[in-house]
Structure 1
């Protein structure tokens, strides 16, 4: 991440903006703590099958599942897998990592549906999100979200996470392409009514979010919520409170 971050210089790009007109956010693991929900949901669904697996190994596999160690979501975004197909790939990998047979093909759909029911109850915003949005409201700066997922699915996620205040939303389906293609970013700016160069895009992926936003003419900012903070660079935000400070500084 350090090399990618140094090449992108997201904060330097922010300070080149004379006035911030609007802010667009990624959703998963930027606004909504999807990683924690995914890990907890995975533990719930595998409690019986993994009962003989060491706790440390179970946690490792749960994190691999949540982080998509199978690389299946990228294949879904590329049109190579269906949504259920990418989840099935992740399930199969998880069971293989602990030396167990995965659920049979006819049961994978049931597993996925049960997982979806559990994880949706766990979706929640990070603690700093509402304070950040309150501050943007106070500054009269419009905001929205651009996501690499189906818009209707993400709209429901925002609602269940208590973030229905975010009205502007662009999904990869409605934009016609996923990030880092410029179309989703441009669609978000159009809905906000802001100029590309005066719009910030905040996300947790240095390539899809920051590099993609910068290439589209926006100003990408990387937010790193990891507890170990792999980089001490001031160019990486550790929370959304820092974002408000940057905007006020402009």
Structure 2
């Protein structure tokens, strides 16, 4: 088995291809810095109510909100909660962590609308994204995005973040199921015009992104931007700057599990 085949085998159990022919990305906290936007929006909306909460505790609660410590988003993906409902659950948890009563039910809709405007105003790509996409363009490698949110909302997010260049987008609604179901990955490959076994998926979630993509037959690699993020998924990268180089020389995928 040659080095390129070994390289791809180490990523996704694929042993029949010689190179990556297309790339699919997750969006939230892979291309768009959603966590930073969520934290900024949360601080803005809670500034008055949390004025007596110590600042370090406010930061801790904001991070918990951004990380969905309530586990509400998965309940939304499973159909148990609406999109507004999952956000309400996160708000209630945040206020509870601060020892405060959450806004009354009749005010929560307005809170969520104001939060949405605040977060949208600071949606932005990570600094390494455009350079990575420029290099993929130069290499002639098509790319797109597969996300666990509705397509229309994520398309607005890409536009607000200045990533309109990503024209191929699959949402959980248009695919008929969220990741890690194989359908979103397969629809993405079809839209890219690449075979499943030669398409690389890049995302920040070890289960929904990496394991889901591998189970669907794609090559997959974890984007591990957080230095304290526990990685049990084998090979990973710490940013997107190194991705084109790894694709151009597949042998760089070889070696012990870990991040580059």
Normalising by structure 1, report the TM-score: 0.93
Contact persistence 2:146–2:169 (CA under 8 A): yes
Q: Which has the higher contact order (CA 8 A, sep 6+)?
A: 1
Contact persistence 2:75–2:86 (CA under 8 A): yes
Change (3 A) 1:85 1:234: closer
| Residue 182 of structure 1: aligned partner | 182
| Residue 205 of structure 1: aligned partner | 205
Q: Is 1:12 matched up with 2:29?
A: no
| Residue 257 of structure 2: aligned partner | none
Cα RMSD of the aligned pairs, angstroms, is: 1.8
Change (3 A) 1:247 1:10: closer
Aligned residues: 242
Q: Is 1:133 matched up with 2:133?
A: yes
User: Offset at 1:241?
Assistant: 1.5
Change (3 A) 1:231 1:149: closer
- For 1:234 and 1:213, locate their aligned partners in 2 and report how far apart those are by CA, in whole Å: 14
Query: What SS class does the counterpart of residue 144 from structure 1 fall into?
Result: strand
| Residue 57 of structure 1: aligned partner | 57
- For 1:119 and 1:13, locate their aligned partners in 2 and report how far apart those are by CA, in whole Å: 34
Change (3 A) 1:12 1:124: same
- For 2:78 and 2:62, locate their aligned partners in 1 and report how far apart those are by CA, in whole Å: 24
Contact persistence 2:11–2:235 (CA under 8 A): no
Query: What SS class does the counterpart of residue 179 from structure 1 fall into?
Result: coil
| Residue 44 of structure 2: aligned partner | 44
| Residue 70 of structure 1: aligned partner | 70
User: Offset at 1:227?
Assistant: 3.8
| Residue 22 of structure 1: aligned partner | 22
| Residue 107 of structure 2: aligned partner | 107
| Residue 258 of structure 2: aligned partner | none
| Residue 6 of structure 1: aligned partner | none
Contact persistence 1:25–1:202 (CA under 8 A): yes
- For 1:116 and 1:88, locate their aligned partners in 2 and report how far apart those are by CA, in whole Å: 12
- For 2:200 and 2:109, locate their aligned partners in 1 and report how far apart those are by CA, in whole Å: 39
Change (3 A) 1:225 1:111: same
- For 1:207 and 1:234, locate their aligned partners in 2 and report how far apart those are by CA, in whole Å: 12
- For 1:109 and 1:224, locate their aligned partners in 2 and report how far apart those are by CA, in whole Å: 34
* Correspondences of 1:154-193 after superposition (within 5 Å): 154-193=154-193
| Residue 118 of structure 1: aligned partner | 118
Query: What SS class does the counterpart of residue 162 from structure 2 fall into?
Result: coil
- For 1:175 and 1:37, locate their aligned partners in 2 and report how far apart those are by CA, in whole Å: 27
Contact persistence 1:189–1:195 (CA under 8 A): yes
* Correspondences of 1:69-108 after superposition (within 5 Å): 69-108=69-108
- For 1:87 and 1:229, locate their aligned partners in 2 and report how far apart those are by CA, in whole Å: 24
- For 2:231 and 2:23, locate their aligned partners in 1 and report how far apart those are by CA, in whole Å: 24
* Correspondences of 1:193-232 after superposition (within 5 Å): 193-228=193-228, 230=230
- For 2:9 and 2:206, locate their aligned partners in 1 and report how far apart those are by CA, in whole Å: 13
